[in-house]
A = this chain, B = another copy of it.
């Protein structure tokens, strides 16, 4: 027995799936409401009973997308390794996701720029961004990352670099995306590592040798 509510939800799902396919295939601007209705097997007017505008429809598609991406990201992170390894894994994931889902990304951008009032499903995007924030701040807690670095600065650098790199490597086969992620993490390590202990550790053997030599010298000269 299929309840009335189930039937409605099933139709809503079908419309959303059709919208997703059409927007991915044609993009937001060129994706036609008529085509979405046709693929969902309903009349054009019916679509508007479920989603008030084309904008709302693309928002729903994107909401689904970001939620999925967050799930995938969490799965892609190696457990228990150090912060920079995890950041690198996340960077690799993000870059390849952008390559794979460039249609969604463009849809996102198109919807945002087409309507200055358009709000990307911010909640879902924030969930995704939080994956980075949490990694980074745990790095601070663990003493692996200098606490003086504002997280937002690193975050903007992380996502900005990767988004730009994704587009640039997509249009030029000679560029190796791996070089970009490796570079990003190397710079993070060079610039964000809490260096004090490391430097001390690096110099310690030298200092020890020096002091041992001086001690021997003192011994000899005093005797």
- Among B149, B161, B186, B220, which residue has its beta carbon within 8 angstroms of that of A221? B220
A125 to B207, CA, bound (A): 53
Q: A115: shortest Cβ distance to chain B, in Å? A: 8
Q: CB < 8 Å: which of B162, B190, B203 contacts A187?
A: B190
The interface bits of chain A over 137-171 (1 if a CB of B lies within 8 angstroms of the residue's CB, else 0) are 00000000000011011101101111111001000
Contact assessment for B168 and A161 in the assembled complex, using a CB-CB cutoff below 8 Å? no
Q: Are A183 and B149 in contact, CB atoms less than 8 angstroms apart?
A: yes
Interface string of A212-223 (1 = CB under 8 A from B): 011011001100
A109 to B29, CA, bound (A): 13
**CB-defined contacts of A153 to chain B, threshold 8 Å:** 165, 179-180, 183
CB pair A213 B217 closer than 8 Å? yes
Determine whether the beta carbon of B113 is less than 8 Å from that of A29.
yes
Identify A29's interface contact among B114, B157, B175, B180, CB under 8 A: B114
Contact of A164 among B113, B156, B209, B217 (CB under 8 A): B156
Most buried by B among A30, A115, A184: A184
| A214, B213: Cα distance in complex, Å | 6
Using a CB-CB cutoff of 8 Å, which residues 59-93 of chain A contact chain B? none
| Neighbour of A213 across the interface among B116, B190, B213, CB < 8 A | B213
> Which residues of chain B have C-beta atoms less than 8 A from A114's C-beta?
29, 110, 114
Q: How far is the CA of A59 from the CA of B106 in the complex (A)?
A: 19
Chain B residues with CB below 8 A from A207, complex form: 206
Give which listed residue, B160, B190, B220, contacts A161 with CB less than 8 A: B160
> Do A27 and B113 touch (CB < 8 A)?
yes
Segment 102-132 of A: residues with Cβ below 8 Å from B: 106, 109-110, 113-116
Q: Which residue of B lies closest to A154 (CB)?
A: B183
Given contacts A156-B164, A210-B210, 12 further A-B pairs with CB under 8 A are: A109-B113, A110-B110, A153-B165, A153-B180, A160-B162, A161-B164, A164-B164, A187-B191, A187-B192, A206-B206, A213-B217, A217-B220
The 4 closest A-B pairs by CB, nearest first: A160-B164, A187-B191, A190-B191, A110-B113
